[in-house]
């Protein structure tokens, strides 16, 4: 018997690699993409909505509902990543404006509606700052009864990009990330440690770019905008899957090695703000022994990834 597709909602800040994630989710037969919600992050929220609609149309999924969400984090100002994602947030590929408009309800309302309406519990996949998700959990906590799990791209065990120790999505809205971690549903953290490793070889990127099929060609153009490292020959750069790896982890969890570990988001101003503090100690330390331990959420933290498996999965799915 074939397994039923997993109902999935993606909350994103499209975003070159969010676009790669959307293309994969639309094309993977094991995923039923029920809605997409948008939040400020890589670019402003209106740009995110436009980019998301364009990608879904290009992927042949013009009927998936898209909603506009928060235009800034809970406390701080929005700080885009346009230097990475281009002035339009989509690699300045010159893509056409979408023909469609977002639904006429906000992201939190659409999230609540789609989660509660789903005949089977939904897997929520945030690939962006967690502002919409925090607002959802605080406004409509009853949604957790129909959430199977949350697989989010964010945080890191041992590295950073926005700062030496903080990953962009968590750093952009640390308070929202802290709320996410206490959602009370199973959470998988697909952090930078694995995110940065899943890279498509340059020859495959070139092949996708030469495709006559619009979705595959878009995937190639997006990957070419995400060089993993400078290409010694200058013409065939590898391309990082980025956020798309988190959706691969939903479709094929066996490719990801996780450990159930305590995680806390650093909310203090200063050098560690936005860091995900992951506790890998084998035994309690002096803090716990002397009663000064802290309450922390338990999270399935991604520690390793089968890179070849996810690259193959991505390429086969996009080509299908
Ligand atoms: C995350 O930040 C964004 O730039 C990417 O889309 C990804 O979600 C990586 O830190
Ligand atoms: Ca993103």
130-145 pLDDT, tens digit per residue, is: 999 999 999 999 999 9
pLDDT, residue 91, reads 82
Closest ligand to Cα 85:
1
pLDDT, residue 297, reads 95
The ligand 1 atom nearest the CA atom of 84: 4
pLDDT, residue 232, reads 56
| Domain that includes residue 146, residue range | 6-319
pTM here is 0.96
- pLDDT for 261-311, tens place per residue? 999 999 999 999 999 999 999 999 999 999 998 889 999 999 999 999 999
Ligand 1, atom 7: closest residue by C-alpha: 243
State the DSSP string of 242-279. Answer: TTHHHHHHHH-GGGEEEEEEEEEE--SSSTTTTBEEE-
Residues near ligand 1 (Cβ within 6 A): 15, 17-18, 42, 81, 84, 127-128, 153, 161, 167-169, 242-243
pLDDT, residue 226, reads 74
Closest ligand to Cα 192:
1
Instruction: Compute the distance from residue 168 Cα to the ligand 1 centre, in Å.
Output: 6
Strand pairing category for 297-305 and 256-265? antiparallel
Instruction: Compute the distance from residue 156 Cα to the ligand 2 centre, in Å.
Output: 14
Residue 290 lies in a domain: yes
Q: 71 and 45 in contact (C-beta within 8 Å)? A: yes
pLDDT, residue 39, reads 98
Instruction: Compute the distance from residue 91 Cα to the ligand 1 centre, in Å.
Output: 14
Residues 6+ apart with CB under 8 A from 150: 123, 124, 125, 126, 133, 180, 183, 185, 186, 187, 188
Instruction: Compute the distance from residue 274 Cα to the ligand 2 centre, in Å.
Output: 16
Q: Which CB contacts under 8 angstroms, 24+ apart, belong to 181-185?
A: 181/263, 181/264, 181/265, 181/297, 181/299, 182/297, 183/133, 183/137, 183/144, 183/147, 183/150, 184/144, 185/144, 185/147, 185/148, 185/149, 185/150
Instruction: Compute the distance from residue 293 Cα to the ligand 2 centre, in Å.
Output: 33
Residue 118 lies in a domain: yes
Residue 129 lies in a domain: yes
- Nearest residue to 189 (alpha-carbon basis) of 226, 218, 151: 151
The ligand 1 atom nearest the CA atom of 168: 10
Distance between CA atoms of residues 213 and 160, nearest Å: 36
Residue 177 lies in a domain: yes
The ligand 1 atom nearest the CA atom of 42: 4
Strand pairing category for 239-240 and 199-200? antiparallel
Measure the CA dihedral 32/219/151/280, to 10°: 150
The ligand 1 atom nearest the CA atom of 16: 6
Q: Which of 20, 91, 128 gets mutated to test ligand 1 (max ligand atoms within 8 A of its CB)?
A: 128
pLDDT, residue 92, reads 84
Instruction: Compute the distance from residue 247 Cα to the ligand 1 centre, in Å.
Output: 14
State the DSSP string of 205-227. Answer: HHHHHT-SSHHHHHHHHHHHTSB
pLDDT, residue 2, reads 65
Distance between CA atoms of residues 224 and 101, nearest Å: 28
Query: What CATH number corresponds to the domain at position 34?
Result: 3.90.245.10
Distance between CA atoms of residues 241 and 53, nearest Å: 20
List of the chain residues with pLDDT < 70: 1-2, 229-235
Instruction: Compute the distance from residue 290 Cα to the ligand 1 centre, in Å.
Output: 38
Question: How many domains is the chain built from?
Answer: 1
Residue 1 lies in a domain: no
Residues, the chain: 320
Residue 171 lies in a domain: yes
pLDDT, residue 124, reads 98
pLDDT, residue 233, reads 59
Distance between CA atoms of residues 283 and 270, nearest Å: 29
pLDDT, residue 38, reads 98
């Amino acid at each position: 018997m074939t397994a039923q597709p997993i109902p999935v909602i993606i909350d994103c800040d499209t975003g070159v690699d969010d676009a790669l994630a959307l293309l994969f989710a639309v094309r993977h037969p094991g995923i039923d993409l029920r809605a997409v919600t948008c939040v400020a992050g890589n670019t402003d929220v209106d740009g995110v909505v436009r980019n998301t609609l364009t990608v879904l149309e290009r992927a042949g999924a013009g009927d998936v509902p898209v909603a506009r969400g928060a235009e800034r984090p809970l406390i701080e100002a929005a700080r885009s990543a346009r230097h990475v994602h281009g002035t339009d947030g989509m690699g300045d590929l010159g893509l056409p404006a979408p023909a469609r408009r977002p639904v006429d309800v906000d992201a939190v309302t659409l999230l609540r509606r789609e989660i509660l309406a789903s005949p089977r519990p939904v897997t929520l996949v945030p690939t962006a700052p967690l502002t919409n998700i925090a607002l959802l959990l605080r406004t409509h906590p009853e949604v957790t009864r129909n959430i199977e799990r949350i697989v989010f791209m964010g945080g890191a065990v041992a590295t950073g990009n926005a700062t030496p120790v903080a990953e962009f999505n968590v750093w952009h809205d640390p308070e929202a990330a802290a709320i996410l971690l206490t959602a009370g549903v199973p959470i998988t953290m697909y952090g930078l440690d694995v995110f940065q490793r899943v890279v498509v070889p340059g020859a495959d990127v070139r092949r996708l770019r030469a495709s006559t099929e619009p979705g595959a060609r878009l995937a190639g153009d997006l990957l070419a905008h995400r060089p993993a490292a400078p290409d010694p020959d200058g013409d065939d750069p590898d391309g990082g899957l980025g956020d798309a790896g988190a959706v691969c982890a939903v479709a094929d969890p066996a490719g990801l090695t996780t450990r159930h570990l305590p995680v806390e988001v650093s909310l203090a101003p200063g050098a560690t703000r936005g860091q995900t503090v992951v506790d890998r100690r084998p035994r309690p330390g002096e803090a716990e022994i002397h009663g000064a331990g802290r309450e922390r959420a338990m999270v399935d933290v991604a520690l390793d990834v089968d890179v070849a498996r996810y690259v193959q999965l991505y390429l086969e799915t996009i080509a299908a």
